[in-house]
Every structure is written in C-alpha cells, then in structure tokens.
Amino acid sequence: MINIQSMSKSYGHTQILDNVTTEFEPGCITGLIGPSGAGKTTLIKCILGMESIDNGTITIKDISIPNREILRSIGYMAQSDALFEDLTTYENMKFFGKLYIGKDLNLNHQIDKALNMVNLSDEANKKVKDFSGGMKRRLSLAISFIQDPEILILDEPTVGIDPKLRKSIWNDLFDVRDKGKTILVTTHVLDEADKCDKLLLMRDGKIISYGSPNEIKHKFNADTIEDVFLKLGDDDDA
Ligand SMILES: Nc1ncnc2c1ncn2[C@@H]1O[C@H](COP(=O)(O)OP(=O)(O)OP(=O)(O)O)[C@@H](O)[C@H]1O
C-alpha cells in the first residue's frame, strides 16, 4: 500500500531521514517508535507529501507522492490539533467532512459514526474552545476517520486521553484494521506499541528494526517494548 525506497530527507545541512526503505501493508497496524527526534513525524510528513524528499521514492498504491487524489484516501491526525476553536464539534466535522468526503458517502452519517467512535456524540453542539485537551485529541481523531479512509496515519493519537477511552479507541482501530485498512501510528505509550501488528523502530533517522512486537523483543533480548526502547538509547544496531 505504502512503499518507501532509499528515501532521505534533510533540513538545511542536517540529515533527518537516512536511506529509509520500508513498506506498510493493508490490514496491519504499524507502530512507529523511537526516541524523540528520531524522525517519526518527518517520515509521516514525507509520506503525506507535506515535506519534499531529497532522494528515493515514496509511492502509495503505486502512485508517486505528492498526489492530491491519493490524499483523499488518507486520514491524518497531526501531533497538534488544528481545530476551529469558535466552531462547535459538529461544525468542525462538517467543515473537514466537506473537504474530504466524496459524493458516495453521506456527510451526516459519517459525522455521527466518527463522533460515536470517539465518544463525542453528546458534545456535538459544544464549542471547541470549551474543550479539554483530551476532548480536542478525540475530535481530531474523529476528523481523521471522517471519510472512512483506506489509510490512517495517526501521530500520537492517544496523548491526553484517559485509559478507558484509550482502550475503546484501540478496539476501534482493531476493527478498522480488520476491514483491511492500513494504519500507521506513532506512540510513546509503550504498552500501545505491544498492540501493534508490526513495529518500525527508528533512531537518528534510520530504521533500526522492523517486525512484530514479539520478534523485536526477541531480537533485542528484552522482556518488554519498554526495555527495547531503553536499549535503543545505548545499544548498537540490533
Ligand atoms: N521544519 C523543521 N526544520 C528543521 N528541523 C526540523 C524540522 N522539523 C523537524 N526537525 C528536526 O528533525 C528531527 C526529527 O524530528 P521529528 O519531529 O521527525 O522527530 P520525532 O521522532 O517525531 O520526535 P517526537 O517523538 O519528539 O515527536 C529533530 O531533530 C527536529 O528538530
């Protein structure tokens, strides 16, 4: 679904991504994990075509990125919320829905479905400026679901979300995955990393390891992903 070959990216003279080659498959939740500054968000922005790349290729469904049509098949939740504070939940959803939803889907039905998923249906008429941080994250997540996209890219989606809702969001992600969607998620919550089907470990702009959580733990001789993460800080490449 998403294919990256020998891709590099610099900001000025600083190399941020170094010869990244990887693939993301449908029906799979891939977790991007690695220390702060490893290049996870930059990789996501390159996949979305928000940042240009210096070398290599990125294709989605065999189409080179950037491509405007392909963007419609991606639901994206950024690390910081980009919401209209003076509008209500419903009005925000309607604005983004009109941008992303094709004629084949019913806007109100999609809004109801997405708000229900993040437990915000009762807050549909509340203005975003009166929201807590967690509520804003949930609304951003609902917006990423709105057009029922083939690909979901979520940058730290559960920051500020309480454990009960976090569990329910992960169950929703499993459902979406089981419908054959491709999901990419960055997280620093390491028990969430264990819920992913595959993990892509990054450090200093390079891919250090790729595999299921158990394969990665085995490779690093670690009992938990947290141990893997700590070892990432001081081990040589595994
Ligand atoms: N627009 C930019 N201009 C210059 N440097 C940037 C820019 N965006 C990111 N960087 C640098 O690129 C590096 C990777 O940043 P990135 O946000 O991709 O890391 P990350 O792995 O997502 O980190 P975190 O886990 O903290 O979100 C960092 O050193 C950061 O300072």
Q: Is the pLDDT of residue 238 over 80?
A: no
Q: Is the pLDDT of residue 237 over 60?
A: no
Q: For the whole model, what pTM was predicted?
A: 0.88
* pLDDT at residue 53, as a whole number: 96
Distance between CA atoms of 166 and 172, rounded to whole angstroms? Answer: 10
- Confidence bin at 186 (pLDDT 50/70/90): very high
pLDDT in tens, 82-132: 899 999 999 999 999 888 877 777 899 999 999 998 889 999 999 999 998
Residue to probe by mutation, ligand 1, list 8, 9, 10, 11, most atoms within 8 Å of CB: 11
Domain residue ranges in the chain: 1-73+150-238, 80-149
Q: Could you please state the CATH topology (level 3) that the domain comprising 1-73+150-238 is classified under.
A: Rossmann fold (3.40.50)
Tell me the CA–centroid distance for residue 33 and ligand 1, in Å: 14
Higher pLDDT, 95 or 231: 95
Is the CB of 71 within 6 Å of ligand 1?
no
pLDDT in tens, 34-45: 888 999 999 999
* pLDDT at residue 234, as a whole number: 61
pLDDT in tens, 160-182: 788 888 888 888 889 889 999 99
Average pLDDT over residues 17-30: 96
